[in-house]
Chains A and B, each alone.
Chain A
């Protein structure tokens, strides 16, 4: 049943991606300026510009350009970067592992610590422990990533010298960026976990579980946490896409390569194929993240399984 649902949802990605590709293409091409501005040498004649524009097919009607591009994508060809003069697929393949590494670790770190912290906050409700975690949650959700990144560099890289200031040489270079991105994530996950636990704790069936004679620990792990994880899974799924592309400021401060950095550079140069290609990849990541979240929820909640039959 879950398998059938998963396949249905997976197939849905195709039409949605097509619709997104139109939006991406239009937005990119409607931006003022074009890649030729970045390509052309100072002092070139208007004829040179026309020739270059024609060379990359940018003189053709938008609709023709779109179909040429999407046709290429269908055959697995992301095209050639205009300014960077390399296959877009290569550029993405080069940058994606860095994003996956950073994003994946930050995701795991923030999910696990966030759920634990949220549970601790709930378990210590009405004590100073709760206030402490609530303070951390407030801090984590308001401190901007780039600022925290600078602070971490100052303390752990410059003053203490424990980790490199920037780059992506080995695992030590991952610690500070993971902590930076994870910090905000922990706050978010802890907040949702805590509120969900408070919410479930008020339900009648929890009273009845106590009335059955179950211990508090058994009730927490067998009943409260599975319920509290439902909303947590939803926000975690939404974060998968964000963490891959949205970590761009943190990537920038730490001088790391990644999909976000690639996108920003290509956007500045109006390198259409690169921008389009990486945006499409990010859109795909968001869709797959949502899909995984929905399947996980269906696996956890029989009521959702019923509704998807």
Chain B
């Protein structure tokens, strides 16, 4: 059974539908990378799985989210609360603003094990200090009593990770966990996440806009564009033979080595906003291969199977 299976997920916020047609699945111990530019719907996918859409006034419109055999789209808020923090941990983008600045960091981590593992105050504290040590935080017992503003960004992100891990979850969702950090710290955090997945046999959804991070750490990848999934597959397959022109262009954007003669490629144009999603394939205005059919018909995206590409002219397949 898959740890997480998302099938044809669609989200609506009042009258707009910023997310549709997202399908992927994730086994225990696997890492899936969800990549795309800003506004492509990566974070909305994460919020949907966490059941936090009501916070931004949204709701799951259609499709399924199955976590370890439990269908999440229908369950009550109380049941969802037990999963959140308990079996699904979230790591957010900006560690600078992710901790309550008025509270010491230790008790903020304690909350999780007290809530989900029924730990009392001293048990929770002992667990937090042990966990901070596991995450390679020096002197965890004294760090426990610090306030968030007394720590560096990288340290705070480790605290956020500790919070996500405190109740021994099965699934972690990391929403651009390194975007707000220094380059040197980025590598440390990504390596830490990779190690945690191996040590604890976790499943990880890693949301990023960095294709090179995906190449280094992920088993699977799903590429998103303008609020929909456009390609999915195993990392080695996608990087060797991308089928969607957008995926191909994204891979072309990864800088290689120090060669001075090669100018980095970009992708012409910008991602359209929710109100300006074009009819047909949403990528067609920026696509070199676009024909009339692309302007009219939305290309299908398989909900099952390990490999899918939403393109009428998927590359490398027999037409």
Query: Are A204's CB and B163's CB within 8 A?
Result: no
- The verdict on B94 contacting chain A, using a C-beta distance below 8 Å, is yes
A223 to B100, CA, bound (A): 7
Answer whether A213 and B92 are a contact pair too, CB < 8 Å, given A227-B102, A302-B101, A302-B102.
Answer: no
- The verdict on B190 contacting chain A, using a C-beta distance below 8 Å, is no
Least Cβ–Cβ distance between A170 and chain B, in angstroms: 43
Q: Can you list, as one digit per residue, whether each of A203-220 has a CB less than 8 Å from chain B (1) or not (0)?
A: 111111111111100000
Answer whether A301 and B102 are a contact pair too, CB < 8 Å, given A208-B90, A213-B116.
Answer: yes
Query: Are B55's CB and A210's CB within 8 A?
Result: yes
Query: Are A300's CB and B102's CB within 8 A?
Result: yes
Query: Are B90's CB and A214's CB within 8 A?
Result: no
Task: Count chain B residues whose beta carbon lies closer than 8 angstroms to a beta carbon of A.
Answer: 31
Which of A206, A208, A300 is packed against the most chain B CB atoms within 10 Å? A208
- The verdict on B8 contacting chain A, using a C-beta distance below 8 Å, is no
Query: Are B84's CB and A210's CB within 8 A?
Result: yes
- The verdict on B314 contacting chain A, using a C-beta distance below 8 Å, is no
Least Cβ–Cβ distance between B75 and chain A, in angstroms: 13
B contact residues around A226 at 8 Å (CB): 102
- The verdict on B287 contacting chain A, using a C-beta distance below 8 Å, is no
> What's the dominant secondary structure at chain A's contact region?
helix
A152 to B163, CA, bound (A): 55
Least Cβ–Cβ distance between B80 and chain A, in angstroms: 8
Which of B100, B103, B111, B160 is packed against the most chain A CB atoms within 10 Å? B100
A53 to B161, CA, bound (A): 79
Q: Sort chain A's interface into a size bin.
A: 20 to 34
A186 to B62, CA, bound (A): 45
Contact of B85 among A206, A207, A211 (CB under 8 A): A211
Chain A: which residue is nearest B86 at the CB level?
A213
How many residue pairs at the A-B interface have CB separations less than 8 Å? 74
Chain A: which residue is nearest B150 at the CB level?
A306
Answer whether A213 and B85 are a contact pair too, CB < 8 Å, given A207-B52, A302-B102.
Answer: yes
- The verdict on B97 contacting chain A, using a C-beta distance below 8 Å, is yes
Chain B: which residue is nearest A303 at the CB level?
B149
Answer whether A212 and B102 are a contact pair too, CB < 8 Å, given A207-B55, A207-B92, A302-B147.
Answer: no
Query: Are B50's CB and A211's CB within 8 A?
Result: yes
A213 to B86, CA, bound (A): 7
Query: Are B55's CB and A215's CB within 8 A?
Result: no
Chain A: which residue is nearest B149 at the CB level?
A303
Query: Are B98's CB and A212's CB within 8 A?
Result: no
Chain A: which residue is nearest B52 at the CB level?
A210
Q: Can you list, as one digit per residue, whether each of B33-76 has a CB less than 8 Å from chain A (1) or not (0)?
A: 00000000000000000101001000000000000000000000
B contact residues around A204 at 8 Å (CB): 92-94, 97-98
Chain A: which residue is nearest B83 at the CB level?
A213
A211 to B99, CA, bound (A): 12
- The verdict on B82 contacting chain A, using a C-beta distance below 8 Å, is yes
9 sampled A-B residue pairs with Cβ under 8 A: A203-B97, A204-B98, A207-B55, A208-B99, A210-B50, A211-B89, A212-B112, A213-B86, A301-B101
Binding site for B on A (CB under 8 A): 203-215, 223, 226-227, 300-303, 306
